[in-house]
Structure 1
Amino acid sequence: MKLIFTQGASITTRLVVAALMSISLMVLDHRYNHLESLRSALSVLLYPVQYLASLPLLLSESASDAIISRNELEEQRENLHQENLQLRARLQKFEALEAENMRLRGLLDSSFKVGDRVLIAEIIAVEQDPFRQQVLINKGKNSGIFEGQPVLDANAVVGQVTHITPFNASVLLITDAAHALPIQVNRNGLRTIALGTGLINRLELPHLPNNADIQVGDLLITSGLGGGFPSGYPVAEVIEVRREPGQPFASVIAQTTAHLDRIREVLLVWTLDPDSAIESQQQRASADDQEETAESEEAP
């Protein structure tokens, strides 16, 4: 019974001893690292307890991150989808602008080559009648357009103006069945007439003898005869020459150099001011009348 009620050291003594032991252990650990192995062993033993204690927090954070990440991903996906649509629309616009820029540069380069006064016009409508090769342009009388005016694209002759309103004009293409164009072979100067066939890229050269010097690949240019078109403009290239025995004329087919089926802009060409042209025609007619009068007076 005496041992049961025996009292040990006081609490103050125990506190002092514990404090001294703690200080001693900290000094030993700081200076000599003697407790590093013990700390490592204890951390290994305590890791499962720490993991289990923090597991609910980790699970809640993971679930929250997953929900937030899904919502953010959905939102980002929707934003990227809309941005992609906008960029694709802009890309299409840029491609259209680039193609238009290339066409305009081609037209301007062509205008420098022909060396005449020119005006760029845009095609706004195409004749729906399958038997008519005609287009409508967005320039008219207010822009100085006149009937019979030559129309080109970046490559060659397209047609000529046939009808004018104040704000637009009709252009008859050279492939129309009612159109005839005086041309000549660039290689040797052989002159003939190119008739439209009604097909968008075909011309026919009738009334050429079988022995005419024309062959596949010859470039046809305007001859300037008739006063409708100035001379020297490309028209077409010969793609077929058929000479049948017993027939007086050869069958010659040419393909237009101008891309009549896909042009968007055209060049209206002034080689001579229409008023000046009318005046020059009147002067020539007056000169011819004077010559006839003089000849009639000289006649006995």
Structure 2
Amino acid sequence: MPLGTLDRSPPPFFRQGPSALTKLALCSALALLLMVADTRFKLMQPARAALALVLQPVQRLLLAPVDAWETAGGYLRGTQRAMAAEDLARRQLSAQAERLSRAAALQAENDRLRRLLGLQPSLTVPALAAEILFEAPDPFSRRVVIDRGTTQGVAAGSPVINDAGVLGQVTRVYPLSAEVTLLTDKDAAIPLLNARTQMRNAAAGRADGAGMELRFVTASADVQVGDLMTTSGLDGVYPPGLPVARVKAVSRRGDSSFAQVLLAPIAQPDGARHVLVLQPMDRHLAAKQEAEAVAAAEAASAAEAKAALRTAKKEERAAKAAAKASAATGGSP
């Protein structure tokens, strides 16, 4: 066969296409075109959503072991925390039950001692729940406004407390609201009793509103940092025994016969929201004495009525006896 008649083209298996560089450039241009088109015209969004929809069951299936492991671990950790919380609650409940039993025993002993000494029993002052609405706009005073007023029975001078201790005293009353002057106000004052030494004194708010201080405390007075100050009940306003403040600092100077005693209020007004408005002690005692007087008058009136009834019955029986005796003698004088 002549050489010119031979087919010199390579077979399809060995046939070469475009070069690798050309393919890279073409794929890069296509990828760039698709990215620009997807960014501008959102062309691939339907395809991406369809692919995500198809792959979601597969993803959920692959994540099932991981979710089961995390759920089992969370259940075990939650069980451990619940058991630890239950154990702590049981210990706290036991401690509270012990304190409650001691408090009940102390209360019973206190009542026995009061009866033995002939003292008046402990007073339970009526209280009214209220909520602090806002602080008074006066920047030179420490006052708050509560949502109870004369309509609900709030009177001027009523003590205001929360779960920690004494907050202040009602100074202005309106029909549906009232202003409470806090103990840290510069014009506020309250008589106190040192729970450790039973020493009585008076405290007032500081001018800077940063706390309270005891007034006219001698340099030799037995006052220590950390002493608890409670209400003494001598002013006829605050019930005795309510916690008010703790001694924060004691400063004794040689050139002064008085000591400077700074107090930190126990009840923080900035964190208070719900409070109790107590009836003033003098009004409570007056109402109690009036009620006792009314009860005594009613008891005396009832006793007089019973005595009169007994006298009337005796006279009736005597008249009946005289009538029978007269009938028996034939009516002769």
The structure-2 alpha-carbon separation of the partners of 1:278 and 1:197, relative to structure 1 and needing over 3 Å to count, comes to farther
- The structure number with the bigger radius of gyration is 1
- SS of the aligned residue for 2:156 comes to coil
Between the two proteins, what is the percent identity of the paired residues?
A: 36
TM-score when normalising by structure 2: 0.49
Match of 1:237 among 236, 239, 246: 246
1:132 Cα shift? Answer: 0.3
In the alignment, the residues of structure 2 paired with residue 64 and residue 254 of structure 1 have an alpha-carbon distance, to the nearest angstrom, of 68
- SS of the aligned residue for 1:122 comes to strand
Asked if the contact 1:119–1:269 (Cα under 8 Å) also holds between the matched residues in 2, the reply is yes
Q: Which amino acid aligns with 2:239?
A: P
Asked if the contact 2:157–2:280 (Cα under 8 Å) also holds between the matched residues in 1, the reply is no
Asked if the contact 2:160–2:170 (Cα under 8 Å) also holds between the matched residues in 1, the reply is yes
Asked if the contact 1:200–1:260 (Cα under 8 Å) also holds between the matched residues in 2, the reply is no
The structure-2 alpha-carbon separation of the partners of 1:252 and 1:164, relative to structure 1 and needing over 3 Å to count, comes to same
Match of 2:130 among 121, 131, 134: 121
Equivalent residue, structure 2, for 1:298: none
The structure-2 alpha-carbon separation of the partners of 1:138 and 1:252, relative to structure 1 and needing over 3 Å to count, comes to same
In the alignment, the residues of structure 2 paired with residue 179 and residue 226 of structure 1 have an alpha-carbon distance, to the nearest angstrom, of 13
Number of matched pairs: 180
Equivalent residue, structure 1, for 2:154: 145
Equivalent residue, structure 2, for 1:136: 145
Asked if the contact 2:247–2:262 (Cα under 8 Å) also holds between the matched residues in 1, the reply is yes
1:135 Cα shift? Answer: 0.5
Asked if the contact 1:137–1:168 (Cα under 8 Å) also holds between the matched residues in 2, the reply is yes
In the alignment, the residues of structure 2 paired with residue 241 and residue 156 of structure 1 have an alpha-carbon distance, to the nearest angstrom, of 22
1:166 aligns with 2:166: no
1:216 Cα shift? Answer: 0.2
In the alignment, the residues of structure 1 paired with residue 281 and residue 237 of structure 2 have an alpha-carbon distance, to the nearest angstrom, of 11
Q: Which amino acid aligns with 2:128?
A: L
1:181 aligns with 2:190: yes
Q: How does 1:65-214 map to 2 (within 5 A)?
A: 65-66=50-51, 115-200=124-209, 202-214=211-223
The structure-2 alpha-carbon separation of the partners of 1:187 and 1:131, relative to structure 1 and needing over 3 Å to count, comes to same
TM-score when normalising by structure 1: 0.54
1:252 aligns with 2:261: yes
The structure-2 alpha-carbon separation of the partners of 1:207 and 1:276, relative to structure 1 and needing over 3 Å to count, comes to closer
Asked if the contact 1:177–1:197 (Cα under 8 Å) also holds between the matched residues in 2, the reply is yes
In the alignment, the residues of structure 1 paired with residue 204 and residue 48 of structure 2 have an alpha-carbon distance, to the nearest angstrom, of 81
Q: Which protein has greater RCO, CA pairs closer than 8 Å, 6+ apart?
A: 1
Can you give the 5+ residue segments of structure 1 that lack an aligned partner in the other structure?
1-61, 71-113, 282-300
The structure-2 alpha-carbon separation of the partners of 1:164 and 1:239, relative to structure 1 and needing over 3 Å to count, comes to same
Query: Could you give the per-residue CA deviations for residues 49-81 of structure 1, whole angstroms, max 9, x where no partner exists?
Result: xxxxxxxxxxxxx878327569xxxxxxxxxxx
RMSD: 3.0
- SS of the aligned residue for 1:261 comes to helix
